[in-house]
Amino acid sequence: MNDEQSKRLSEAADAVIQASEALEEARESLKDKRFDSEVDRDRIAAAQQAASKLDAAGKKLEDAVRRGTIAAAALARPGSYARYREATAAAREGRGLARTAAEQDGSAAKRARGQEALARLEAALASAAAIVFGD
């Protein structure tokens, strides 16, 4: 591995780690006690914050997938393009679900949609990690 390949791989690994941390923040936002508040304003704020954190994690995942795929291509890793397609589809689907979470009726439905988004983003993270770190 030459210096350029090493640099690309380390940048991709850093992007995956940042995406993982953002996903953990999003996961924690879905546990926010305000979802169970009796005050409607608090429930709405919790849902909006969770949706925002999920979308931000999705953006970071898309960046990590892109960087990882470029690094994998430079290293001629087989199967990277197929994983790229899986990861980008999961990340886009997760972001789409996150955007609609705050629009659901009732805090339980908002949280459930957020959980669906989280599951798709976690699948994207797993694919991104496989691209960068291997199986």
pLDDT category of residue 86 using cuts at 50, 70 and 90? very high
pLDDT category of residue 11 using cuts at 50, 70 and 90? very high
Task: Kindly tell me if the per-residue pLDDT of 1 is higher than 80.
Answer: no
76: which 2 tokens? 């001629």
* pLDDT score for 106: 86
Alpha-carbon radius of gyration of the chain: 17
Smallest Cα–Cα separation from 64: which of 2, 20, 6?
20
Task: Kindly tell me if the per-residue pLDDT of 4 is higher than 90.
Answer: no
Does residue 106 sit in helix, strand or coil?
coil
Range of the domain at 91: 3-133
Q: Which residue has the tokens 């879905």?
A: 30
Tell me the whole-structure pTM to 2 decimals.
0.90
More confident position, 135 or 128:
128
Task: Kindly tell me if the per-residue pLDDT of 96 is higher than 90.
Answer: yes
Query: What is the average per-residue pLDDT within 59-72?
Result: 93
Query: What is the average per-residue pLDDT within 55-63?
Result: 95
Q: How many domains does the chain have?
A: 1
Contact 58, 94 (CB under 8 A): yes
Element (H, E) at 77: none
Does residue 2 sit in helix, strand or coil?
coil
